[in-house]
Amino acid sequence: LKEAANRSQGLKPVSTLLRDLFREPLSPMELADFDAVVMDPPRAGAKAQAEAVAKSKIGTVVMVSCNPATLARDIGALLAGGFKLGPMVAIDQFLWTGHLETVVVLRR
């Protein structure tokens, strides 16, 4: 990690946080210090968190989802908050199953 940090000239440091976002989503005020977020919710999605991100000043969201229905719902909240869809990739990491991971980039 130290070597990666040395090679990341000009990049902002990365912050990570472990938190139960169903019980306590990050508020727009807490999100004020972040430029971007990566959201990888469980199958139930991240409705409350997506709504809070939509109200924040964050400019970039990367959504990872294993449930197309909740992904569509959560993206809807972000689109309503002024985000635009960017690249979207489907990843078939569970071969021979009906399960699919989807990665979507949204930007303001």
Q: Which residues are catalytic?
A: 66
DSSP H helical segments within the chain, as ranges?
2-7, 47-55, 68-80
Q: Which residue has the tokens 């959560």?
A: 74
What is the H or E stretch that residue 106 is in? strand 101-107
